[in-house]
Amino acid sequence: MSSDTDSTENSGDDIRSRLLASGAKYSVRHVSIAQLLKAVLLYEGALFQIEGREFKKIIIVANVIDKKETDTQIAYRLDDGTGKIWARIWQDPHSLRVDPLKDKPIPGPSGCVFELFQAENDQSTLVSELHYVRATGELSEYKTASSRSRSLILYGDGAIEYIQGSNEVDHHFLQIIKETHIFRVGPPPIGLISSTPSAISNSLQRLELQSDLQPVSDPDPAEEEEFNRTGNAVDSESVFDTPTKVRNTRALEPPSPTPRPKRQKRVALEENAEAGSSRLPAQSSFTTTDSKPEDLVLLVIGEGLNALRQDQPDSVYEGVARKLIVYQVRKLSRISSHQVNEAIAQLLDSGMICETVDRDHFDLVD
């Protein structure tokens, strides 16, 4: 039973990571109050941005340090240690007033013990008991007499509720770190994402064995210099093998050309990607050192996009990032990052792949 639960939770984290990385407009993001106060609003009516990434619905975990009620709203003053913000529930003055926290049980001392923040020294009346709550809503900005202020607008049942354990506070801030990192550098590599803890362990063991047998290292500087010197002579119909390492590389005869990869191999790669699972296999048929970089690039792009389309068929995809292609190809074969980028350039020239949102995201050409 626990294995099924772990699988479901990891699958949910995987989907959330991909939604965040793709910039999904309505994905829910865990944030701190400091991030909300620093968020950028480019113009009225636009979505707020954190470090250039738009967001709409957010989750915060904080202490309730104050509470105010009027005919039209219930407002909670929240403090998570990074800042303070009002969270408001707007209500119809002619309808029955409902306080989401009033009738809910407060966690007792046996549930968890919180370190309470000191409240502000103002004229407001403090609530009798302070406890952590989880609030889900949307950030709003409005004008006051002297400046502009921000508050969190709460909607629907369960928009604000007590948390039951201190671990939920730790989990929330770890989610903030994880999701901020995803926005900055992208989601975890597809080949390392597993659905269960046992699969993660097996994947890491296989990766360790592959590292012992085929260590990934950059080529010798002399080899790299010779490769760069002859790289400009590569035409669209042929590729060259890297010269064998010798003491004096300039004394080598020009390398003999070899046929470029046939298009049929690309078709086989696509069929393999469509027939396989939504994640890159731990051991591929193209893990040999004599596989051409172009074949490996096509494999990574095809299976990467296939995984995304199977999990989120209705989402808009930006393609596979260059750095993810380089990482996965170097894990499959002992070649340098420079060779992977050269392979990407040759596939672009031959029309087998295309750029998508920018020069660092790619998709297969149908």
Compute the average pLDDT of residues 180-207.
Answer: 63
45-49, 91-95, 194-198, range with greatest mean pLDDT: 45-49
User: Quick check: 362 and 346 in contact, CB under 8 A?
Assistant: no
231-240, 265-274, 314-323: lowest mean pLDDT where? 231-240
* pLDDT at residue 289, as a whole number: 52
Predicted TM-score of the model (pTM) = 0.44
Residue 226 main-chain phi, psi, to 5 deg: -65, -40
- Tell me how far apart the alpha carbons of residues 283 and 265 are, in angstroms, rounded to a whole number: 18
Length of the chain: 366
Geometric angle at alpha carbon 340, from 357 and 334, rounded to 5°:
145
Q: What structural domains does the chain harbor?
A: 2-185 (2.40.50.140), 190-218+261-364 (no CATH)
94-98, 237-241, 299-303: lowest mean pLDDT where? 237-241
Residue 364, number of CB atoms within 10 A of its CB: 19
Instruction: Check residues 186 and 4 and name the one with the higher pLDDT.
Output: 186
Compute the average pLDDT of residues 122-145.
Answer: 73
For residue 149, the cross-strand partners are 142
User: Two tokens at 362?
Assistant: 């790619």
Compute the average pLDDT of residues 197-209.
Answer: 53
Separation in Å, CA 365 to CA 164, 270, 271, 339, 357: 51, 11, 14, 21, 15
53-57, 235-239, 267-271, 341-345: lowest mean pLDDT where? 235-239
